[in-house]
Amino acid sequence: MTSTGAIRCVRMEPVILVHGGAGDIPDSRVRPKIDGNRNAVQAGYAVLQNGGSALDAVEAAVKRMEDDEAFNAGFGSVLNLDGEVEMDASVMVGSDLSAGAVTVVKDVSHPISLARMVMERTPHLLLAGAGANKFARDQGVPVLPKGALVSEYAKKALEEFKVRGCASTEIGEKNPGDVGTVGAVAIDARGNLAAATSTGGINGKMVGRCSDTSLIGSGTYADNDIGAVSTTGHGESIAKFCLAHAIIKEMEHGKSADKATNEALAKMTEKLKNTAGAITLSRNGEVGVGFTSQRMSWAYRKGGEYHYGINKGDHNVEKIN
């Protein structure tokens, strides 16, 4: 990597871009995701508008979606084969490539904030399972009662999974339950980039399964010299392809955020025969959105405009006064 990751002293138009997961999203989940993405963008943009950092903005946006049952993160996460929620999250800051992550963490409302604590308060990159939960307790993070993050929808989805016996990140009436990892990328007024991603993983996963979302370079990446990326989709494929970093490399070689995102996704899907999606911001605040799955909810705010979509070819724009 040639990056110096330097802190930038420029005046940028701040941007926050979020996703609510890639997959075969059933029609019944479309509206909740569009609304949830809007709330997340509002939370993140409020931080940026008040002169806050890209890191604070992506954390605020992801926390909002972790609280929202419409997404597969925090409350409403999909369940493992034992019927438990085990969550993964990661965060990265573009100014110095600092990063933090947690995997297989239980009973905390906001895994993304725990990932940030790993970044800011430990010498490590990734804490797993019991160790991540011990760290949460040591940091005074409230521990929820067992089962507090389990939604009725997730229980039903696991039951269906057990009957059908097939694992998929493609959600839909056929394989309900994998209701969408969440992610956010932002650039603040000083030109600093950050990325954050959080997930409950895959419905019916084995106990202890780690996802791409906890892996820097697969689920999340940010470098002030190039851009910031958050991914979603078939985790094992994303991890094998190092999807977030593959997009960053394409941008480093001169491609726009949108071209880099769509070309890397197409290559991953061609090689590994599974689908994914990603959101990307370049160092200049250009937006990239792509998915090889049937749907992915996404939204962003830049200046006085709010942009969003969920189906292929969607690009709705609203003026904000």
- Nearest to ligand ASP of 218, 262 (CB atom): 218
Among 117, 141, 195, 202, binds ligand ASP (CB under 6 A): 202
Positions in 227-246 near ligand ASP (CB under 6 A) = 232-233, 235, 238
CB of 206 to ligand ASP, least distance (A): 12
| DSSP string computed for 126-141 | EEEHHHHHHHHHHTTP
Residue among 91, 97, 136 nearest 115 (CA): 91
- 196 burial via Cβ count (<10 Å: 0-12, 13-18, 19+): buried
Which residues are annotated as catalytic? Answer: 181
76 lines the binding site for ligand ASP (CB under 6 A): no
CB of 60 to ligand ASP, least distance (A): 20
Q: Which residue is nearest to ligand ASP (CB)?
A: 235
CB of 77 to ligand ASP, least distance (A): 10
Cα separations (Å) of 74 from 144, 178, 314?
A: 11, 13, 27
Positions in 236-295 near ligand ASP (CB under 6 A) = 238
Q: Which stretch binds ligand ASP (CB under 6 A): 25-33, 104-112, 175-183, 257-265?
A: 175-183
Quote the CA–CA distance of 238 and 230 in Å, as a whole number: 11
Cα separations (Å) of 129 from 106, 133, 134, 251?
A: 8, 6, 9, 34
In the chain, the N- to C-terminal Cα span, in Å, equals 42
- Nearest to ligand ASP of 48, 182 (CB atom): 182
Among 14, 32, 177, 201, binds ligand ASP (CB under 6 A): 201
CB of 262 to ligand ASP, least distance (A): 17
- 84 burial via Cβ count (<10 Å: 0-12, 13-18, 19+): middle
User: Longest C-alpha distance within the chain, in Å?
Assistant: 56
**Do the Cβ atoms of 25 and 180 come closer than 8 Å?**
yes
Among 103, 211, 220, 261, binds ligand ASP (CB under 6 A): 211
CB of 280 to ligand ASP, least distance (A): 16
199 lines the binding site for ligand ASP (CB under 6 A): yes
103 lines the binding site for ligand ASP (CB under 6 A): no
Q: Which stretch binds ligand ASP (CB under 6 A): 128-136, 176-184, 220-228, 260-268?
A: 176-184
